[in-house]
Amino acid sequence: MKANVWAGRNRLEIQDVPDPQILNARDAIVRVSSTAICGSDLHLVDGYIPTVKKGDVLGHEFMGEVVEVGPGVHNLHTGDRVVVPFPIACGACFACEAELYSVCENSNPNAGMAEKLMGHAPAGIFGYSHMLGGFAGGQAEYVRVPFADVGPIKVEDDLPDEKVLFLSDIFPTGFMGAEMCDIKPGQTIAIWGAGPVGQFAAASAFLLGADRVIVIDRFPYRLRRVQRTGAEVLNYEEVNVLEALRDMTGGRGPDACIDAVGMEAHHPTPAMYAYDRTKQAARMETERPYVLREAIMACRNGGVVSVIGVYGGFVDKFPMGTVMNRSLTIRTGQCHVQRYTEPLLQRIRAGEIDPSFVISHRMPLSEAPRGFELFKNKQDECNKVVLTP
């Protein structure tokens, strides 16, 4: 079969790779009908996430048709149309019982590798490095889906792929980011990152009752897109974000702040006061957790900082004194997608949201490397690329 393969740092190739096989009783094989390129794929491609190997098939957002099931899968049948959550979860361990699917204790065969870096291991993830299981991803014609009786959600044919594909990751991820804010009526939520996850976080914050949502980015086309959700926007190349947020909230700060950027935050403008101070204090730092720091500084006393942007390792100069003295709560996690698929599918069905609003580009799987380039370099106002094998 054809698959989009990591062929070295910043090098992707469409290659012929062996068809996946059923290896365990609870596996299924899915013929992919739609798959997407995600911001977190970019961290893999440029080598920021460790333990990606040449020949690895990328992709963790996909859906398709079940073409084969192992003898242990009784709830799925050949011909079923499914969306597959990106974290692989057994459904029966301590974590899964608590609906903490992205930290399933049984789905990461390379848990030892992750334990060395993280203390304990998170779940396996499709197409997402060997430390997270080394599972082949969904930017391919076929995928092996482990624990297929737990994660995949069946979808009736009346909903097109584009409306349900993002149940695999970015809609639940944005929704969980908003849910972790414990939004009460009348509240203001600030979101860093107007990419697809930030767009879903904004839409979700409104679904959960936020009064105002303010989204921070530097790309006008992404800010325009997120405005369609009803959000207000700040371009951090044009304003001092901390001052602007203070002004917009009567001096108090947003009730909750969402980091939807993560480890590769872009340099802000030199004019930004908090940034300069941090920079002075930290001559040796990597600068990557810039957004996280700003979200913490901006949040009102006693508020919540919700982190859904991806981090890989360690951050320098974490403002713990601010967190502690101002009674902030930090909540984070890879999305526990399986918890959200059914309720969010119902919201789609009810017409509360049409997730296809994030799509900017559609192309065949064979053009995946070009899709990555467009998305990475923000060319052609690229917001979200959907690939069809």
**Alpha-carbon span 159 to 316, nearest angstrom:** 45
Choice from 44, 104, 244, 305 touching Zn ion (CB under 5 A): 104
User: Which span sits near Zn ion by CB under 5 A: 34-42, 274-282, 303-311, 316-324?
Assistant: 34-42
Choice from 90, 203, 261, 328 touching Zn ion (CB under 5 A): 90
Return the bridge partners of 70, or none.
none
Q: Kindly state the smallest distance separating residue 105's Cβ from Zn ion, in Å.
A: 5
Tokens of 160: 């097109």
Sign of the alpha-carbon dihedral angle for 296, 199, 122, 13: negative
Whichever of 169 and 294 has its CB closer to Zn ion, that residue is 169
**Alpha-carbon span 175 to 343, nearest angstrom:** 11
Whichever of 108 and 240 has its CB closer to Zn ion, that residue is 108
User: Which span sits near Zn ion by CB under 5 A: 30-38, 198-206, 282-290, 341-349?
Assistant: 30-38
Choice from 1, 93, 239, 330 touching Zn ion (CB under 5 A): 93
Q: Kindly state the smallest distance separating residue 13's Cβ from Zn ion, in Å.
A: 21
Q: Mark 229-258 with x for binding to Zn ion (rule: CB under 5 A) and - for no binding.
A: ------------------------------
Whichever of 83 and 296 has its CB closer to Zn ion, that residue is 83
User: Which span sits near Zn ion by CB under 5 A: 92-100, 260-268, 277-285, 331-339?
Assistant: 92-100
User: Which span sits near Zn ion by CB under 5 A: 88-96, 215-223, 295-303, 305-313?
Assistant: 88-96
User: Which span sits near Zn ion by CB under 5 A: 12-20, 70-78, 81-89, 284-292?
Assistant: 81-89
**Alpha-carbon span 214 to 373, nearest angstrom:** 29
Choice from 14, 17, 29, 38 touching Zn ion (CB under 5 A): 38
Q: Kindly state the smallest distance separating residue 106's Cβ from Zn ion, in Å.
A: 5
- Residue 205, phi then psi, degrees to nearest 5: -60, -40
Count of residues of this chain found to bind Zn ion when the rule CB under 5 A is applied: 8
Q: Kindly state the smallest distance separating residue 264's Cβ from Zn ion, in Å.
A: 14
Q: Mark 137-176 with x for binding to Zn ion (rule: CB under 5 A) and - for no binding.
A: --------------------------------x-------
Whichever of 26 and 300 has its CB closer to Zn ion, that residue is 26
Q: Kindly state the smallest distance separating residue 321's Cβ from Zn ion, in Å.
A: 33
Whichever of 104 and 244 has its CB closer to Zn ion, that residue is 104
Residue 41: burial class (beta carbons within 10 Å; 0-12, 13-18, 19+): buried
**Alpha-carbon span 240 to 270, nearest angstrom:** 10
CB-based contacts of 132: which residues, under 8 Å, 6+ apart?
A: 108, 110, 114, 122, 123, 124, 125
Determine how many CB atoms are found less than 10 A away from the CB of residue 68: 17
User: Which span sits near Zn ion by CB under 5 A: 102-110, 137-145, 329-337, 338-346?
Assistant: 102-110
**Alpha-carbon span 275 to 164, nearest angstrom:** 39
CB-based contacts of 369: which residues, under 8 Å, 6+ apart?
A: 4, 12, 13, 14
Choice from 3, 17, 84, 96 touching Zn ion (CB under 5 A): 96
CB-based contacts of 323: which residues, under 8 Å, 6+ apart?
A: 296, 305, 330
CB-based contacts of 32: which residues, under 8 Å, 6+ apart?
A: 62, 63, 64, 138, 140, 141, 142, 143, 365, 389
CB-based contacts of 43: which residues, under 8 Å, 6+ apart?
A: 49, 262, 263, 264, 310, 312
Whichever of 106 and 204 has its CB closer to Zn ion, that residue is 106
User: Which span sits near Zn ion by CB under 5 A: 99-107, 216-224, 257-265, 341-349?
Assistant: 99-107
Q: Compute the residue count for the chain.
A: 389
Q: Kindly state the smallest distance separating residue 33's Cβ from Zn ion, in Å.
A: 17
**Alpha-carbon span 25 to 69, nearest angstrom:** 8
Q: Kindly state the smallest distance separating residue 278's Cβ from Zn ion, in Å.
A: 29
Q: Which residues bind Zn ion (CB under 5 A)?
A: 38, 89-90, 93, 96, 104, 106, 169
